[in-house]
Structure 1
Amino acid sequence: MAWATSCAYMSEKKRTSLFRYWTTRYLIILCIGLFVIGIASSYWISYSETQKRLDFMRLMAAEVADRVVDMEGKVKMAPFLFRIVDSRQESLGVNYKPMMMILDEHKQPVFGVPGPFSSELKRLAPDLVEANDSLSQFELARGDEVLFVKESIKVDERVVGWVMLFTPQKQLIRSMTEFQLLAIMLLGLGLLGWLVIYLLTKKLSQPIKDVADAAKQIVMGNYEIQLDKNKREQEVYELIHSFEEMAERLKQLEMMRTELLAGVTHELKTPVTSISGLVQAVREEVVSGEEAKEFLDICTKETTRLIKMVEDLLDFNSFAVGDIRIRRQPQNMQELIREITHQWRILQEEEKLSLHIESTPDPIMIDTDPLRVQQIMYNLLNNAAQAMESEGRIVVSLSASAEEIRIDVKDNGRGIPIEEQSLIFERFYRGEDKKHIVRGLGLGLSFSRMIAQALGGILILTESTASGSTFTLILRK
């Protein structure tokens, strides 16, 4: 138990806001991506700069090789050689000067520019002459990398010497401004990317935070929430709109729950109080004879009404949890409707009600549960009778198509107000006019719709005006 509590605490502790969660993770992904791009770009820049420097050195080596041979075919340093090198350096926009070494035909240095590696380069020169022409880089004894280019000095196809150019690799890295530009670019992209996700995540998380705050208000019982619905994003707008509809729905259900508690208490208390008072009067012999018998008859009616209310609650609870038993059997719907309406008419005490049945001459057969159909029809007929206040006309119409059967129950009563039509199938809902006239729990229509759905059909309010209402039971064949 303690371990579960500790895990729950740790899980709660690790939670963070949507804004912080996504901005942090995006920043991590952005940094990793930019780091990979930076590494790849660095390698490419280094490779490109190396090739560019080697090309420049090959060009210089070729030009020097053409200038250092005298008329007799011997290697001789021209006095203007350095001016040529400097001129090529300026024309190509190169800001570095490689170290140069010239060897004679015996592989002995005849010229060398002083540098940090000049002594070791003179020692390695004969070996470098014999090396493969593809060699462009080698490592000195102390670990320094050096770029290397050699060019043969030829006279009449005879090699009379070599020109060698060297550049330290670290000097190449120090001289590249591309790395600085790359760093600035990556830093700028990182800041821009973080700023973009910061603003977008903040804009996205704000309405979600508002909805979460509104949900907390609903938990505390405050259903009067105000959310900004002027959102251009379709999903955010639908979220806010749906949440407001849910809040309004919860508000209505809360009002219905309050009314239900008061209504059920009143409806159950009234017959109990009446029974208690009447039985007390008979017991104490306040009344006797025929009057006492009349009091007991009233007690019997009130007891029957009380039992009916309790049965409605139990039946509705059974249906609500899915415990609906359907026993289907072949039925002729014309005969079934005639039998149901006939039985209902016998139970009615009002003689001013007229009941008519409209149907096709051909038999309409369907597999259904006649008892459940009877429950639905009784509820619809009772509601129609209550709407007409014991005087009026009820028409039951039966029709069929290839796939379904329609049973319409139409009355010419006072109708249902427009603002109440969307709520009439809610459990425990009773209209403002009806709750003051008819005693009950407001489960009839909700119970009937659940039965219709269990039968594979649906119960709907087809029409309701000041001149009457029409309910339709649709059953699939």
Structure 2
Amino acid sequence: MNNNQKISLLRYWTTRYFITLIIGLIVVAIVSVIWIRHTNLEHRLNVTKYLAQEIADRFVEEQSGETVPREGVLEYIQERQSIIGTELDPIIYIVDSQGRVLSNPFEREPFPSSEVFPLSILQAESEVQRIELDNGVQSYIVKRPIQTEGVTAGWVVIIQSANQLTQMNEEYRLLAIMLASLALIGWATIYFLSRKLSKPIQDVAVAAKHVQEQNYNFTLPENMKEQEVHELVHSFKEMSSRLQQLEALRSELLAGVTHELKTPITSMTGLIQAVRDDVVKGEEAKDFLDVSLNEANRMKTMVADLLEFNSFAANAIPITKEKYEVNKLIKEILHQWKVANDEEGLELHKHLPEEAVHAEVDSIRLQQIMVNLLNNAKQAVKGKGMVSVALEKKAPGWIEIQVEDNGPGVSEEEKDFIFERFYRGKNKKYDTHGLGLGLPFSKMIAQSMDGDLVLKESTSGRTIFTLKLPVQNQPEEKAEPS
């Protein structure tokens, strides 16, 4: 048998639940039989005591100082068979105080001598005794005294087989019917509940195979009442929808990256071919070579960015964190960026707290993040608008650096993808060259410094990116940025 062979969830749980149910019902049956037998025995012994007392009171009388049994005992016992609820086969003795047998209505002799009843039984304190008769039958003896003027004149003794006192054929049948019904109802309930539970899981498994084959055309049940099953189905739907979007995005981004790398190569090839074939000469040829060199440098930069991103994603580039006064660090970064991007119509505002704010960061990596965010803001306003940088203390132990612009903002359908590698917005892919690694690279750097980079808000006319960083509890001596 193959141990790795799998069985269906329905069969697995139904079989095990049913086996557990049967074991439970067997235990219940054993306990019930023991309890019913004990109850029947107690009940029938009490009825036997009652019969013995009735015989002592109604069928025995005192005449001339002697105990004399009356007729009718046999008929009385037969009338009372329905009370005990079983076929009576009693042995009845009416004996005097010396143990001499005065009457034996059923004419049975369980003892060797029926003339004298064993005194040991009569003199025992217990009214109910269990003994083994000479024929080996386990029996119960019930005795009741015959009282005359406060004196025990004799005894009524009833001997009844233990099997007859505990027999319960009808009870066995009822118990068997009840347990069989419970087993059938339990199995049916388990089967239908397991089937109801396994059906959506099976549907999800089938859908997963479709997704594996990149086929996203499938349907899954809606509005499941079970919370866990509903969450499973809903999460799988969200996952498959996300995978479908990412698959489409991947194809689009691959085409975009290919285009970005192919364009400078095509341009350089044409320009260099023109120079080589003497199509252009002199200063014009130099201009062609300068353009080719610029295109080569641009392609070199894109390849370097791609290599650096892959290295960082593989944790191959370490982060070196040192303690800095973040206010001064941001001022220096903004000053350098302003010098390199001094364009007419572009306004740069900064809002920094007067008190010193210290944090443990990698200054070079922080500058990469800030420059990327500032460049994105500049591209959003197309070089003519407002870019604002603010440093704020937030929750204890955290600061936020917010970069805001008044550009057109990010559309709702693009917000979920802006941190995806190689993604560029619909407008940006036509207006700006690049591989779409700036934001995902910046987010990765922020997380490596125990912080995060998020899109806080983006509407028409306002976009805010927030860089969250942990701060030092105790201010330390300021360190100048390198």
**In which range does the TM-score fall when normalised by the shorter chain?**
0.7 to 0.9
Could you tell me which residue of structure 2 aligns to residue 166 of structure 1? 159
Secondary structure at 2:432's aligned position in 1? coil
Q: Deviations over 1:234-261 (max 9, x none)?
A: 2222222222111111111111211122
Partners of 1:237 and 1:158 in 2: CA distance: 83
- Correspondence 1:356 to 2:349: yes
Sequence identity, in percent?
44
Partners of 1:129 and 1:37 in 2: CA distance: 43
Q: Deviations over 1:69-120 (max 9, x none)?
A: 4412434331233344345555x464432232334556454433558xx344
**Which range is displaced more, 95-104 or 403-412?**
95-104
Cα gap change, 1:63 to 1:318, in 2 (>3 Å) = same
Q: 1:414 aligns with which of 403, 408, 430?
A: 408
**Which range is displaced more, 43-52 or 304-313?**
304-313
TM-score normalised by length of structure 2:
0.87
Paired AA for residue 467 in structure 2: L
**Which range is displaced more, 387-396 or 272-281?**
272-281
- Correspondence 1:151 to 2:141: no
Partners of 2:160 and 2:96 in 1: CA distance: 21
Cα gap change, 1:125 to 1:228, in 2 (>3 Å) = farther
Could you tell me which residue of structure 2 aligns to residue 6 of structure 1? none
Q: Is the 8 A contact 2:74 2:106 kept in 1?
A: no
Could you tell me which residue of structure 2 aligns to residue 26 of structure 1? 17
- Correspondence 1:81 to 2:53: no
**Which range is displaced more, 377-386 or 271-280?**
271-280
Paired AA for residue 265 in structure 1: T
- Correspondence 1:199 to 2:192: yes
Partners of 1:185 and 1:74 in 2: CA distance: 55
Cα gap change, 1:175 to 1:285, in 2 (>3 Å) = same
**Which range is displaced more, 451-460 or 155-164?**
155-164
Partners of 1:362 and 1:171 in 2: CA distance: 101
Q: Deviations over 1:318-346 (max 9, x none)?
A: 33234452222232333322322232234
Q: 2:43 aligns with which of 52, 55, 72?
A: 52
- Correspondence 1:382 to 2:372: no
Cα gap change, 1:129 to 1:284, in 2 (>3 Å) = farther
How much does 1:178 deviate? 2.4
Partners of 1:466 and 1:335 in 2: CA distance: 32
- Correspondence 1:469 to 2:468: no
Could you tell me which residue of structure 2 aligns to residue 130 of structure 1? 120
- Correspondence 1:253 to 2:246: yes
Q: Is the 8 A contact 2:99 2:118 kept in 1?
A: no
Partners of 1:127 and 1:324 in 2: CA distance: 108
Q: How many residue pairs end up in the alignment? A: 465
Cα gap change, 1:147 to 1:416, in 2 (>3 Å) = same
- Correspondence 1:424 to 2:424: no
Higher helix share: 1
Could you tell me which residue of structure 2 aligns to residue 189 of structure 1? 182
Could you tell me which residue of structure 1 aligns to residue 54 of structure 2? 63
How much does 1:174 deviate? 4.0
Gaps of 5+ in 1: 1-8
Could you tell me which residue of structure 2 aligns to residue 299 of structure 1? 292
Partners of 2:37 and 2:166 in 1: CA distance: 8
How much does 1:279 deviate? 3.5
Could you tell me which residue of structure 2 aligns to residue 212 of structure 1? 205
Paired AA for residue 454 in structure 1: S
Q: 1:433 aligns with which of 427, 432, 441?
A: 427
Could you tell me which residue of structure 2 aligns to residue 43 of structure 1? 34
Q: Deviations over 1:181-202 (max 9, x none)?
A: 2222222222222222222222
Q: Is the 8 A contact 1:109 1:122 kept in 2?
A: no
Q: Is the 8 A contact 2:10 2:195 kept in 1?
A: yes
Paired AA for residue 283 in structure 2: E
Matches for 1:197-346 after TM superposition, within 5 Å: 197-346=190-339
Secondary structure at 1:331's aligned position in 2? strand
How much does 1:127 deviate? 7.2
Q: Is the 8 A contact 2:143 2:156 kept in 1?
A: yes
How much does 1:219 deviate? 1.2
Partners of 1:145 and 1:38 in 2: CA distance: 25
**Which range is displaced more, 50-59 or 62-71?**
62-71
Q: Is the 8 A contact 1:256 1:428 kept in 2?
A: no
Secondary structure at 2:23's aligned position in 1? helix
**Which range is displaced more, 24-33 or 271-280?**
271-280
Secondary structure at 1:136's aligned position in 2? strand
Cα gap change, 1:124 to 1:39, in 2 (>3 Å) = farther
How much does 1:285 deviate? 4.3
Partners of 2:2 and 2:221 in 1: CA distance: 34
RMSD value, Cα: 2.8
Paired AA for residue 181 in structure 1: L
Cα gap change, 1:447 to 1:142, in 2 (>3 Å) = farther
Could you tell me which residue of structure 2 aligns to residue 4 of structure 1? none
Partners of 2:116 and 2:279 in 1: CA distance: 142
Cα gap change, 1:279 to 1:310, in 2 (>3 Å) = same
Secondary structure at 1:12's aligned position in 2? coil
